[in-house]
Structure 1
Amino acid sequence: MSISPEPPNMIWATRGRDWGFRFLLDAGLSDPLPSYERAFGDVGDATTAWRRGDGHVALRIEDPLGRRDSAGRVIPHEFVIFGDLAGVVDSVGDGLLEVWPLVSERYSGIWNTSNPFIG
C-alpha cells in the first residue's frame, strides 16, 4: 500500500555532497529538532534503523544510490514519519519502498548543489 503524504507529514534530515547535515523537511514544525531528537534518542549509530514511537516512526537509511559526501562518507537519510504513512512503515525495507520514492527526485536535484533549499 503506497501512501503519498504532503511533505509536512515528515521530518527529513540529511547532508549533501558539500553541505552539512540539515533539515530538508520539517513536518510543518517551527523547530523540528526536539521531535527529531526524541524520535532518534535511543536509535543508536547504526547505518540503518527503524523504530516505532508514539505517533511516529524513526527511519534511517543509507543513500540508496550510494552517494557520498566530499569526505567520502555514505550519506544517511533520517526521517521522522507521522500520520498514515507511519502506519505502513514497519521496517527499513518498508521505508525504502514507501518513503524514499517521495523524496528521491528532490534529493537528486539538490545533493550536488551548494543550496539544498527545496521548499
Structure 2
Amino acid sequence: MSFIWVTRGRTWGFRFLRNGEFADPLPEYERAFSGVGSDAEVCRRVGECVALRFPDPEGRKDRAGRVIPHEFVLMGTFASGTRTVSEGRQRVWPLVADEYERIWKSAKYPSTPA
C-alpha cells in the first residue's frame, strides 16, 4: 500500500504526512497535480498514478476558516481501482482518519512522514 498524502492542520501549513516510500515525494506530487488547478475535488489519472483531492470529510477548517483539503497521489492497487473521488475517499480515508484526528489541532506537525 503506497500513497503520498499532503494536507494541512488547524495551525500548520501543507505538509507531507505520507511520502509514498519516496525519499523526496515532492517531484511525484508535483507531476501528479501539475495543471490540476484549485478544484475542491479532483480524481485524475497520470500515468500509473492517480491524483486525488477532497475536502476534509469532517468539515474541519484551519484557523483562517478555510476547509482543509487532503491531497493524495495513489499508486499501485490504490490507483488501479480508483476512478472517482468517492472511490478514492472510500479507499484511503479509513487508513488515515484516526491519524489525522490525532494531529490536526497540533501546533507542530509530525516530523517524519510514513
TM-score over 0.5 for the pair: yes
The amino acid of 1:104's aligned partner reads A
Matched, 1:20 2:8: no
Which residues of structure 1 form unaligned runs of 5+?
A: none
Report the Cα distance in structure 1 between the residues aligned to 2:13 and 2:79, rounded to whole angstroms. 27
- Taking structure 2 as the reference length, what is the TM-score of the superposition? 0.94
Structure 1 residue 44 displacement after superposition: 1.1
Residue 103 of structure 1: SS of its match in structure 2?
Answer: helix
Map 1:2-13 to 2 at 5 A: 5=1, 9-13=2-6
Aligned equivalents of 1:50, 1:43: Cα separation in 2: 9
Partner Cα distance (1:116, 1:88) in 2: 30
Q: How many residues align?
A: 112
Unaligned runs of 5+ in 2: none
Q: Percent identity?
A: 50
Instruction: Quote the Cα distance in structure 2 between the aligned partners of 1:29 and 1:96.
Output: 22
For residues 35-78 of structure 1, what are the alpha-carbon distances to aligned partners after superposition, in whole Å with 9 as ceiling and x for unaligned? 10000002111011010111110000000000000000000000
1:18-57 to structure 2, matched below 5 A, reads 18-57=11-50
State how far apart, in whole Å, the 1-side matches of 2:83 and 2:109 are: 29
CA RMSD in angstroms comes to 1.0
Partner of 1:79: 72
More contact order relative to length (CA 8 Å, sep ≥ 6): 2
Q: Give the TM-score taking structure 1 as reference length.
A: 0.90
